[in-house]
Structure 1
Amino acid sequence: MKNWKYKRLSECSNFISERTSNITIDNYISTENMIENRGGVKIASTLPDVKSTSAYKPNDILLSNIRPYFCKIWFADKKGSCSNDVLVVRAKKEIDPKFLYYVLSDQNFFNWDSITSKGTKMPRGTPNAIMKYSVPDIPLRTQQKIASILSAYDNLIQNYKKQIEALQTAASELYKEWFVRFRFPGYKNSRFENGIPEGWKIERIGNIGEVIGGGTPSTENEEYWDGDIPWLSPVDLSDNTNVYVSRGGKNITKLGLQKSSAKMMPKDTVLLSSRAPVGYVALAKNPICTNQGFKSVVCNTSVIQPIYLYFYFRMNKNYLQSIASGATFPELSGSMMKKLKVLLPQMELQKEFSKKANIFISKAELLSEQITNLTQQRDLLLPRLMRGALEVH
């Protein structure tokens, strides 16, 4: 295998320029609902106001053509539509489509795509350069074996993600049952005043916690980056597989924290993305910094439980998005956040909910750790398989 030969991507695949008018929430793919770091895709939040878009079919490979360093790629398992900023790659007959997907999932490919991209603020991949990328020219049977090995990891990761989603749904349903439908323990003996249970009240966010924004250290100063302080941007929560988050895509240094408007959020801060897009939410598992795309809440725990507020934001995501202002980048300002009203149940009930919700959350965290381990193993294995460093039997 050390003597593998290579051929250009153009010799084994084509860019597809087919069009379709079948544009639905379930099948539309844009750079916004493609998840970075090979995370696949999620359901689109909006659809384009056009009659037709680019089309894709099962076994096609979709690549985000904006900011290639985000490593957004998806192996299509259905037919659908996609934006013009998504490249559709279709394998020719002599190459296994899933193997080609893993070739293009290799970090070496994204490095190539980034190096050959054009533009500074919003770099775009260059199709001609992409098609010059080197693909291992190996027997179809070997391609299929490599694809099978790597697919085993991805299938297990997807299985764990579905289990986590089920656990999160169970916790969300418990929240809705108690605090939306008002079927909480003892509800039959409760009295209601002005539409809410007696003893509950409605408070503004500014009265139950501290609203904190963030900032980004200068990316031009190397002394501010690659430190020990986790730094989070909204995109880091786009595929958040758990309630808690412990790290972001990057780390900053103590100097970066001191010399910028970045703020350190303490453990259990409710992290809410307030800009592009609005509504991603998580709890800080440890002290963490966020960029300016957040308006987060450090809860007064004598009044409100962080897990309760987390689910409150999660259940009201559409409302939060609807009140954001701004044409280009809709945003929730600090003043808007402080004025937001929250239904505040009695503390005993909040604590009981938190205890029950934590049962689901703890199980999800264990699965999330497994996903991290499997992802790391796959990403270490992938480049070695692509350069023939491992024997495949």
Structure 2
Amino acid sequence: MGKYLLKEVCDITYGFAFDSKRFSSDSTIGLPVIRIRDLKEGTSHTYTDETCDDRYSVHDGDFLIGMDGEFNIVEWQGGDALLNQRVCKIRSSSDDMLSNFLPYVLADELKRIESQTSFVTVKHLSAKVLNRIQFALPSVDRQREIVAILKTLQSEIAISEQMLAKADELIQSRFVEMFGSATNVNLSDICDFYSGGTPSKKKADYWDGTLPWFSPKDMKQPNLSDSTDHINDIVIEQTNLKLLPADTVAVVVRGMILAHDVPIALLMVPATINQDMKALLPKRDCNPVFLAEAVRNQEAFLLSETGSSAHGTKKIDTEVLGAVQIPEVSLSLQNEFAEFVTSVESLKSTTQQQLDRLNTLYASLTQRYFMV
């Protein structure tokens, strides 16, 4: 198994500096121009009438690398297009290397370079660094085996991800089916809001404990049983920080995550929260699973009403949170919906575990196959 520099086995074409003044959304004027932002979506809706050398043409199946921001290699499937600056096209130039082996051998190396690249605003991948990439190249037959194995794993990962997305859609559809015609009330009519806080970092004993202290970085799952940071029980006795009961719904109300998501979670254990979150404390009997999903169902409204603080951080004002519309339905209906959600979440948990195993296996295999 020999080692090669990327430039020894590949042809790399760097994009053309098209005149942005000639860009248009009119698809009749010419071909689409592939910019970095188009790589994730896999399509471009920006067109140009400018002509260029044929080497800047891109066709389905070509592999492209974004050279600013995130350094990803993608297989283009968006139809005939043109290669813009800061995007490069890469093709095998050697009989010793299969073209479809490229994304597998380069993916981890590009991420390694990305993690080690310093930046002020946006990370930049230079042609010099790209040309220095070195990797081991197994026989063509072995390359075929590796591609087949990793492609199968990718397909299984994609299926698991689709199942998780479908499960979320199922919960949303069931919510609309059960409560779409119900009368709504303001969230502030059924809940009080509590903002958390951060214990003094100067008191080491405050942070020597096992009591969960949730912050926005923990809000990645709908149900949370533990946090990254923990505090001592004495914080509750010596400060104004409140111990929230199990089954409390928490919402992130401050942070840049609010530019695109409003994290909402059910705290499954007694816990505390920081000042960037609000706990919903029901004034009447209310199923917490129903409550969490009802607020989650209004994410579009919350995002549309998200403001910014003086220093630019996104925030949801208490008045906005209080204006969220919640179906006013009987506790028995809430419980029925909660049982449905619990069954779907159980399925999601099993699927997530399978997805985690697949991702771990994929990472293990890529490390084994592509260690230089």
Global fold match (TM > 0.5)? yes
1:202 alignment partner AA: V
In the alignment, structure 1 residue 311 sits paired with structure 2 residue 313: no
Whether the 8 Å contact between 1:13 and 1:92 is mirrored in structure 2 is yes
2:335 alignment partner AA: K
- C-alpha deviations, 1:164-187, integer Å up to 9, x for none? 2222212111101111244xxxxx
Deviation at 1:158, TM superposition (A): 0.6
Deviation at 1:284, TM superposition (A): 4.7
Q: For 1:298-337, list aligned pairs within 5 A.
A: 298-300=280-282, 302-326=284-308, 331-337=314-320
Cα pair distance change 1:229/1:299, threshold 3 Å:
closer
Aligned partner of 2:113 in structure 1 is: 112
2:68 alignment partner AA: N
In structure 2, distance between residues paired with 1:214 and 1:118: 33
What percent identity do the matched residue pairs reach? Answer: 13
In structure 2, distance between residues paired with 1:375 and 1:63: 23
3-state SS of 1:349 partner? helix
Whether the 8 Å contact between 1:112 and 1:133 is mirrored in structure 2 is no
Aligned partner of 1:101 in structure 2 is: 103
Whether the 8 Å contact between 1:270 and 1:296 is mirrored in structure 2 is yes
Deviation at 1:132, TM superposition (A): 1.7
Deviation at 1:386, TM superposition (A): 0.8
Aligned partner of 2:161 in structure 1 is: 161
Cα pair distance change 1:136/1:302, threshold 3 Å:
farther
Aligned partner of 1:73 in structure 2 is: 72
In the alignment, structure 1 residue 208 sits paired with structure 2 residue 191: yes
Gaps of 5+ in 1: 35-40, 183-195, 219-223, 389-393
1:345 alignment partner AA: V
Whether the 8 Å contact between 2:225 and 2:268 is mirrored in structure 1 is yes
In structure 1, distance between residues paired with 2:273 and 2:61: 38
Deviation at 1:351, TM superposition (A): 1.3
Deviation at 1:64, TM superposition (A): 6.9
Aligned partner of 1:190 in structure 2 is: none
Deviation at 1:100, TM superposition (A): 1.8
Cα pair distance change 1:149/1:181, threshold 3 Å:
same
In structure 2, distance between residues paired with 1:161 and 1:214: 35
Cα pair distance change 1:230/1:204, threshold 3 Å:
closer
Cα pair distance change 1:164/1:313, threshold 3 Å:
same
1:142 alignment partner AA: R
In structure 2, distance between residues paired with 1:281 and 1:229: 18
Q: Superposition RMSD on alpha carbons, in Å? A: 4.9
**Larger helix proportion, structure 1 or 2?**
2
Deviation at 1:213, TM superposition (A): 6.6
In structure 2, distance between residues paired with 1:43 and 1:336: 39
Whether the 8 Å contact between 2:36 and 2:68 is mirrored in structure 1 is no
Moved more, 171-180 or 123-132: 123-132
In structure 2, distance between residues paired with 1:83 and 1:244: 44
2:334 alignment partner AA: Q
Q: For 1:49-88, list aligned pairs within 5 A.
A: 57-63=60-66, 65-66=68-69, 73=72, 75-76=74-75, 78-79=77-78, 87-88=87-88
**Which of 329, 337, 362 is the equivalent residue of 2:346?**
362
* Number of positions where the alignment pairs a residue of Structure 1 with one of Structure 2: 331
Whether the 8 Å contact between 2:306 and 2:314 is mirrored in structure 1 is yes
Q: For 1:331-346, list aligned pairs within 5 A.
A: 331-343=314-326, 344-346=328-330
